[in-house]
Amino acid sequence: MSSMDELIRGAAEVIQTEELAARLSAGCPLRVKVGFDPTAPDLHLGHTVIINAMRRFQDAGHVAIFLIGDFTGMIGDPTGKN
């Protein structure tokens, strides 16, 4: 399995595969970001999918960045609100 195949395993969609392939072949480490809602009461089993994917990126020499939404924490999750 190629490094690109390993990194995108389980991904529903990769928007710019050509750019990703070019960066991987150039040996440039990627910065991969994921955000979590701080108003949620906890992390659950569903979060392990993305956490494991982030770990695969780290194992491949890339930088994994976990974000906590401070603005979301102040106003709450805006999903479904007007």
| pLDDT one-digit tens code per residue, 17-71 | 888 888 888 988 988 888 887 777 777 788 888 888 899 889 989 999 988 877 7
- Are the C-beta atoms of residues 57 and 51 closer than 8 Å to each other? no
Say which amino acid occupies 69.
G
Token pair in block for residue 36:
């979590």
Report the pLDDT value the prediction gives residue 78, as an integer from 0 to 100.
65
Report the pLDDT value the prediction gives residue 65, as an integer from 0 to 100.
93
> In the chain, what are the domains?
3-74 (3.40.50.620)
Angle at the Cα of 11 (from 8 to 16), degrees rounded to 5?
Answer: 65
Report the pLDDT value the prediction gives residue 73, as an integer from 0 to 100.
65
Give the tens place of pLDDT for each residue, 2-19: 777 877 777 777 778 888
The model carries a pTM of 0.66
